[in-house]
Amino acid sequence: MDLDLGRILDSMPGMVLSATPEGEIGFVNREWSDFAGLGGSVSDGPAWQAIIGPNELPDLVKQWKLIIASGEPGLMKTRLRRFDGQDRPCKFRCSPMRDDQGEVLRGYVIASEAADQETDQRTERQILDGIPAGIGVLTSTGELKAVNDHVVSYFGKSEEELTRCVSAEIVHPEDLQHVLDTVERAVTNGEAYDVELRFLGADGNYRWFQVRGKPLRDGRGSVFQWYVLHLDIDERKRAEEALRTSETNLRDNLNALPTTAWSTWPDGYVDFLNARWLDYSGSTAEQAGGFGWGDVIHPDDAGRLFNYWQTCLATGKSVDIEARMRRYDGEYRWFLFRADPLRDENGTIIKWFGIETRLLRHDGVYRWFQIRGLPLQDDSGTGVRWYSLLTDIDDRKGAEEELRRSEAFLADAQRVSKTGSFAWRVGSTKVTWSDETYRIFGFDPAEPVTLDLIRSRLHPDNVVTFEKVVDAAQREGSDFDHETRMVMPDQSIKFVRVVAHNERNKDGELELRGAVRDVTASRLAEEALSKARSDLARVARVTRR
């Protein structure tokens, strides 16, 4: 059975038309013809103006060509002139028809009458009032058309009053000019804007808002109105102001400290150096800020030291590194940098890290400093900046160096003289030895020294005497000067002289301190001399006979 396409389309319960890709109407069905008052279905007859109002036609043809070009179904909106002369809003559902090669031959449209404008406006109003923020609708030139209930409630003015209100009545005077310039520039260029300002509320107080405006465009790309969002950010702004005040107070306190201090961002960028630091180094904040402090590090060491610093910031790993720093006169000197972070049970850095170094003073003198840094973290535990404290410890470091030098001299003297030292807290079994004492006794320095360990080295004939000396020291706290013999691992005999005296330590405990001297050579020499004298005497007696 042959099917007549026109009869099929006439029987459809809706308005149907077909058109060429160029937009020329080929057919409208009976229902469309009845709606427009054309009198029956029409094929290749009427012009567009007979169906679509002349003011709507250019935009509709443009939308049509865009849909055909995409090759995909689409939706168009326009107004159709009804048989009674009224223009009614309608929706066109369009679908292109292709041939076997995929080329679009024509398009088909099913049109339906849209809801009336009053219903659309009610729906739009309900949507605007349901948004939990202030919403304003502006004309294409920036004049206020409508606002939602949140705006009405905040300002305590009706929508009509707000449309007549000038900006100076509701915007803080300090923000007014910036806001006017921003909105004017956005409307002129058709670009979205984002501005922070203070609005005067119905209670007479100003609150901070973030106002974002976005243009709405028609099918031709022209702005026909604006939607503006008002976000209340007053609590955030007050928190930011409190933070700024806190940071200002902190900087004032750091500047008042009788020591040097600085802070950095998480990446190690120095953003603050207190007055003490700047006065001491003779640098300006611009010179030493950021990564300017790196200028005093030797070029061969700078990269390595910087990488260690970054590792400390990123992972909190301990730092122990040597590098050379330049003195005022251009001379480089070696320094030891150390850092140890304090962590909580989750491994997060929560406290100070420390490094010791020397800084170049403005007069060219290097002094030792102890540097402690504390990471400042936000609520999520993320580091947002670092604060550091520098303490001048040059005098302490000098004393430590003198102590190390004295200890080195003592160790050398003990090796040359074969004299070791020891300390024994009376009443305990633990004994502290110097390195030379370990060498004299022939024990490993890693082995803890006890009275039992000492007994194991003594000659069996001297153990009883050793016990008497120890017992007298414990009971009477008396000094002693004692010579004994030791049996070494190779079964050789070693003679040692032990001299000690008692005194109270800082805790008030009795402590025996003394020296151990290897006198084997002198004892053997004495024995050899005694033997020689004996032999000489015997020879003399034989000769006299």
CATH of the domain at 502: 3.30.450.20
Q: How many domains does the chain contain in total?
A: 4
Q: Are 41 and 30 in contact (CB under 8 A)?
A: yes
Q: Are 135 and 145 in contact (CB under 8 A)?
A: no
Same domain, 264 and 200: no
- Length of the chain equals 545
Could you tell me which of 318, 353, 319, 356 has the C-alpha nearest to residue 335?
356
User: Counting Cβ atoms within 10 Å, is residue 390 exposed (0-12), middle (13-18) or buried (19+)?
Assistant: buried
Could you tell me which of 310, 299, 305 has the C-alpha nearest to residue 320?
305
Same domain, 54 and 169: no
What does the block give as tokens for 58? 């250019």
Same domain, 281 and 353: yes
Same domain, 22 and 140: no
Q: Residue 188's pLDDT is what?
A: 92
Q: Are 455 and 462 in contact (CB under 8 A)?
A: no
Q: Give CA torsion, residues 169, 172, 173, 176, to 10 deg.
A: -80
Collapse the DSSP code of 353 into the 3-class scheme (helix H, G, I; strand E, B; otherwise coil) and give the result. Answer: strand
Could you tell me which of 67, 65, 32, 62 has the C-alpha nearest to residue 46?
32
Place of tokens 């100076």: 168
Same domain, 109 and 167: no
DSSP of 110-153, one letter per residue?
Answer: EEEEPPPHHHHHHHHHHHHHHSSSEEEEEETTS-EEEE-HHHHH
Question: For the sheet containing 480-487, what is the strand order?
Answer: 449-450, 430-433, 419-425, 510-518, 493-504, 480-487
Segment 469-477 long-range contacts (CB within 8 Å, at least 24 positions apart): 473/426, 473/500, 473/502, 473/512, 474/426, 474/427, 477/426, 477/502, 477/510
User: Counting Cβ atoms within 10 Å, is residue 164 exposed (0-12), middle (13-18) or buried (19+)?
Assistant: exposed
Collapse the DSSP code of 243 into the 3-class scheme (helix H, G, I; strand E, B; otherwise coil) and give the result. Answer: helix
**Cα separation of 322 and 316, whole Å?**
18
Whether 168 is in a domain gets the answer yes
Q: Residue 39's pLDDT is what?
A: 66
Distances (CA, A) of 157 to 81, 151, 153, 173, 537: 41, 8, 7, 20, 134
Same domain, 218 and 306: no
Whether 328 is in a domain gets the answer yes
Whether 368 is in a domain gets the answer yes
Choosing from 114, 132, 153, the residue where a domain stops is 114
**Cα separation of 12 and 41, whole Å?**
12
Could you tell me which of 474, 522, 32 has the C-alpha nearest to residue 466?
474
Same domain, 289 and 228: no
Same domain, 167 and 144: yes
Whether 541 is in a domain gets the answer no
Indicate the DSSP class of residue 508: S
- Beta-carbon count within 10 A of 460 CB: 8
Whether 64 is in a domain gets the answer yes
**Cα separation of 407 and 274, whole Å?**
39
The secondary structure of 365-416, three-state, reads: CEEEEEEEEEEEECCCCCEEEEEEEEEECHHHHHHHHHHHHHHHHHHHHHHH
394: Cβ contacts below 8 Å, ≥ 6 apart: 358, 367, 368, 369
Q: Residue 432's pLDDT is what?
A: 84
Choosing from 392, 417, 452, the residue where a domain stops is 392
Question: For the CA atoms of the chain, what is the radius of gyration?
Answer: 49
**Cα separation of 449 and 420, whole Å?**
14
Choosing from 357, 392, 427, the residue where a domain stops is 392
Q: Are 274 and 252 in contact (CB under 8 A)?
A: no
Q: Are 230 and 151 in contact (CB under 8 A)?
A: yes
Please report, in tens digits, the pLDDT of each residue of the chain (545 residues total): 445 666 777 777 778 888 888 878 878 888 888 888 776 555 544 444 566 767 777 888 888 888 888 777 888 888 888 888 887 888 888 888 888 787 888 888 888 876 555 555 666 677 677 777 888 989 888 888 888 898 999 999 998 898 888 889 999 999 999 999 999 999 999 999 999 999 999 999 999 999 999 988 876 678 888 889 999 999 999 988 888 887 788 778 777 766 666 676 767 777 777 787 777 677 788 887 888 877 777 888 888 888 887 877 777 776 677 767 666 666 676 666 665 555 556 666 543 333 445 555 666 666 666 666 666 666 666 666 666 655 666 666 666 777 677 666 666 666 766 788 888 887 777 788 888 888 888 888 888 888 888 888 889 998 888 888 878 877 776 777 888 898 998 998 989 988 888 887 777 778 888 888 888 888 887 777 777 777 777 777 776 66
Q: Residue 257's pLDDT is what?
A: 66
Whether 11 is in a domain gets the answer yes
Q: Residue 367's pLDDT is what?
A: 67
Same domain, 441 and 491: yes
Same domain, 110 and 136: no
Q: Residue 350's pLDDT is what?
A: 44
319: Cβ contacts below 8 Å, ≥ 6 apart: 308, 309, 311, 312, 337, 338, 339, 340, 353, 355
Same domain, 179 and 271: no
Whether 128 is in a domain gets the answer yes
Place of tokens 């955030």: 236
* Enclosing domain of residue 313: 259-392
Whether 517 is in a domain gets the answer yes
Q: Are 264 and 388 in contact (CB under 8 A)?
A: yes
Place of tokens 């008030």: 508
Same domain, 272 and 381: yes
What does the block give as tokens for 273? 């150096």
